[in-house]
Amino acid sequence: MVCKKITLHIGLSKTGTSSIQNYMRDDVTKLNSLDINVYLSNDWPHGLAKTLISDDEQFLYEFKRLLKKEQKSHVIISSEYFEFFSPEKISKLKEFLLDYKVTVVAYLKRQDQAIVSMYNEEVKKGVTLLNFKNYCDENWQRFDYSNLLSNWSEFFGEDNILIRPFQKSVFLNENLIDDFFWVICVKPRNY
């Protein structure tokens, strides 16, 4: 069988993206047995997203070759960098994946919780020296989910966008990993 379906996990910051990627990396053999492949070695989790941002045509060519040779019917691509895509980059990604049935998955954290979490992390890492008000003034666009999702649905279609609240109480089994795979209709674990 050849790849027909791609799940794009546009992992917004502070919504468990690394946890999902780590699970897939740790359990790739189980996913392969379910006819799923994930590109997580080296720079693959972010490679496609970074490549489209930087317009690295050679990497795109290699990635396209990899997809064309893919024997699993379903591929999962997950990256936090997708959240930074402009409409032009989303359009280019859509064109790049035209031969596949693409589903876009995003988890959304309440904006107030998300911006506080991002601010705290960036202060700890020394990324920002701004006070919280100025940080909010400079970064509020990242938390404009309506704009973000309308850009993705414009190119991939509203029916192909799956949105979940990043909230433990609504996750399947109160577990992000179980919820993610349930959302994309895969059962890698026993429920």
d(CA 184, CA 74): 10
Q: Is the pLDDT of residue 191 over 50?
A: no
Q: What are phi and psi of 91, to 5 degrees?
A: -60, -40
Q: Under 8 Å CB-to-CB from 169, ≥6 apart: which residues?
A: none
Q: Percent helix, strand and coil across the chain, each rounded to 5?
A: 60, 15, 30
- Tell me the three state secondary structure of residue 36: strand
pLDDT for 1 equals 55
23-69: pLDDT as tens digits: 998 988 999 999 999 876 555 556 788 888 888 888 888 888 989 99
Q: Which residue has the tokens 């050679």?
A: 58
38 forms beta bridges with: 76
148-173: pLDDT as tens digits: 999 999 999 999 999 999 999 999 99
pLDDT for 13 equals 84
Q: How confident is the model at residue 80 (pLDDT cuts 50, 70, 90)?
A: confident
Model pTM score:
0.89
pLDDT for 128 equals 94
79 forms beta bridges with: 10
Q: What single letter denotes the amino acid at residue 172? A: L
- Tell me the three state secondary structure of residue 91: helix
pLDDT for 188 equals 66
19 forms beta bridges with: none
d(CA 159, CA 142): 23
From the CB of residue 83, how many other CB atoms can be counted at a distance below 10 Å?
17
Long-range contacts of 117-125 (CB under 8 A, 24+ apart): 117/14, 118/13, 118/14, 118/142, 121/14
Q: How confident is the model at residue 11 (pLDDT cuts 50, 70, 90)?
A: confident
Q: Which residue has the tokens 């691509």?
A: 77
Mean pLDDT of 67-83: 91
d(CA 125, CA 7): 31
| C-beta of residue 137 within 8 angstroms of C-beta of residue 130 | no
Q: Is the pLDDT of residue 97 over 90?
A: yes
Mean pLDDT of 63-92: 92
Q: How confident is the model at residue 71 (pLDDT cuts 50, 70, 90)?
A: very high
Mean pLDDT of 101-128: 95
Q: Which residue has the tokens 């006819």?
A: 35
Q: Which residue has the tokens 């990497």?
A: 59
Instruction: Give, as one character, the DSSP assignment of residue 16.
Output: S
